[in-house]
Amino acid sequence: MIDVQNITKRYGHHTAIDRVTFSVAKGEVLAFLGPNGAGKTTTMRILTCFMPPTEGTARVAGYDCLNEPMEVKRRIGYLPETPPVYQELTVTEYLTFVGRLRGLTGQTLTSALDRSIERLQLGSVRHRLIANLSRGYRQRVGLAQALLHDPPVLILDEPTVGLDPKQIIEIRELIKSLVGSHSVILSTHILPEATAVCQRVVIINGGRIVAEDTPEQLSARLRQSEKISVIIKTPPADCEERLRAMPGVLNVFPGQGTGNFLVECALGHDLRDELARFIVSRGWGLLELKTISMTLEDVFLRLTRHEEGLSQSPEPAAAVTSNLEPSVQEAAS
């Protein structure tokens, strides 16, 4: 549905995005993840035909963004960073205006309006001036605008900014409900959001794509070994050595506080059962035992911090694994 090939955007000498390539299948939700200034908004502006790329091609629903912008615009619902609302209009007037710009008329317009208002629960404010609405409501009006003409492609720039936690969950549910029928790109720097609603994540930093995969696989790919955290009530002095001597254990690091250890074992070997028995049978007193999985947050920080090292590597994700070890140590100590 969306196909981006090697797009580059330069502002004078500043390169905002550099040879970005990715694609989104029909019905897929893709998260665009990156720190502020990474090039997320620039990429979205190119896809929505607001600005042309310096190099490369972007196609939406089979139409080229540069040569057939009208066809592309007709098929996109776009929510920019700031909800594009007119304060002097009421919600209904605003959405009517948006619908007319997109060529909706008569009965089609009325039903599109009602559907959109219902979907974003704007019924109670539909006759109020947008100027008098809270930030959260304005954001929802912005989303209603993007969904109004039921476009096959949705581009949402930080759709949950400014919403309260309940509204965030509602919006995420809404985005999830679009899976299958709509192709969605949403940009965010809130990681749980990407994990919650997206099938695929593209991590962008400094204008380049540094990783692209499902959230689960991204963290799995960056994990070199299984890590188990144990807390022991009365550890003997040689506890660390004796744990390390256990079959299957690769390494043991002391954790925070006495009796806290981080046991590392080979990928795919779950040693929790053996560890528990080992400690209990010696009467050390097992207080806690849990696996430590890498969250998307860790992945994200690794990838975006070690950007320089990555650019020389053909396989970005593989290059980071070596950088992973010290960070876990830091975190544990």
Residues lying near other proteins in the complex (CB under 8 A) are found at 11, 45, 48-52, 70, 73-74, 76, 78, 80-82, 84-89, 93, 97-98, 100-103, 105, 145
Rounded least distance, CB 131 to other proteins, Å = 9
Rounded least distance, CB 48 to other proteins, Å = 4
Which DSSP state fits 255? -
Rounded least distance, CB 36 to other proteins, Å = 17
Residue number, 82 or 256, with CB nearest to other proteins: 82
Residue number, 46 or 230, with CB nearest to other proteins: 46
Residue 22, token pair as written in the block: 């990715």
Q: What stretches of the chain show up as alpha helix (H) in DSSP?
A: 40-47, 69-74, 91-101, 106-119, 135-147, 165-177, 191-197, 215-221, 239-244, 272-281, 296-305, 307-311, 316-332
Residue 180, token pair as written in the block: 């299958």
Q: Rounded distance, CA 262 to CA 240, Å?
A: 10
Rounded least distance, CB 294 to other proteins, Å = 37
Rounded least distance, CB 104 to other proteins, Å = 10
Q: Rounded distance, CA 158 to CA 72, Å?
A: 21
- Report the amino acid identity of residue 146: A
Closest CA to 191 of 302, 84, 267: 302
Residue number, 51 or 287, with CB nearest to other proteins: 51
Rounded least distance, CB 7 to other proteins, Å = 15
Which DSSP state fits 42? H
Residue number, 84 or 254, with CB nearest to other proteins: 84
Residue number, 130 or 194, with CB nearest to other proteins: 130
Distances (CA, A) of 36 to 159, 161, 208: 15, 13, 13
Residue number, 82 or 258, with CB nearest to other proteins: 82
Q: Where are the beta strands (DSSP E) in the chain?
A: 2-11, 14-24, 29-33, 55-60, 63-64, 76-79, 153-157, 183-188, 200-205, 208-213, 225-232, 249-254, 260-266, 286-292
Place of tokens 């550099």: 18
Residue number, 104 or 175, with CB nearest to other proteins: 104
Rounded least distance, CB 78 to other proteins, Å = 5
Closest CA to 31 of 181, 218, 294, 222: 218
Residue number, 79 or 218, with CB nearest to other proteins: 79
Cα-to-chain-centroid distance, residue 61: 23
Rounded least distance, CB 254 to other proteins, Å = 52
Residue number, 76 or 231, with CB nearest to other proteins: 76
Cα-to-chain-centroid distance, residue 58: 21
The residues that bridge with 205 in the sheet, in sequence order, are 208
Rounded least distance, CB 97 to other proteins, Å = 5
Distances (CA, A) of 245 to 82, 93, 198, 240: 58, 73, 42, 9
